[in-house]
Structure 1
């Protein structure tokens, strides 16, 4: 009888551990970091820990990047511009510096990042910043 109770307890513990590990691994719906016409560019392994490429400020859940994706929509490589996040666009918060990740120069208030948006066949998206409006002039 003791072995039966011990075996039942082990089974219950295994089921509980597998249930809780699945809750931790799977993010809830809407927490993914897919690029949208007005939303952000990248997603990391931990959704919700995305940083703005303009000011390098971590974004909270629900905060999006302000960006534009240009047509045509059915190609695997699109041009897009990234203006910034709520912390740095349209007016930067005190202490926030808008800096280009390529040339490391200051981006003006009316400036933006120029990037390429890659749409993969499995509905994943990847953004590669190629420069800012200042360093791409040359």
Structure 2
């Protein structure tokens, strides 16, 4: 499988979800909600999500993580790097269980996609606010 714009964005979400060895239903459902609502995914066929997710997981198992993230970067235009990081953050916090593995992977994604620290902090703060619970 080669990465398309859509599968590159989905890859960032899948990577973070699977970072702790367990892709929860809440995380997978969040990925589906994101794909179903964001304009960047309007031409993506949601019926391919399960198959694309499996392909992404297989690709990650067969490659070095940082090499795979560089492939994501190569597919995404610069203007979508912040979006990719924001999507990864959303999936990481949606289940209220942010693991050390997820935090480390977010750091790697941020570094590989050249997200500057100020933008990353703004994205992370926005994510925290959107997912606050009473």
Give the TM-score range, shorter chain.
Answer: under 0.3
Structure (1/2) with the larger helix percentage: 2
Per the normalisation by structure 2, the TM-score is: 0.23
Per the normalisation by structure 1, the TM-score is: 0.23
Structure (1/2) with the larger strand percentage: 1
- Mark the structure with the bigger radius of gyration: 1
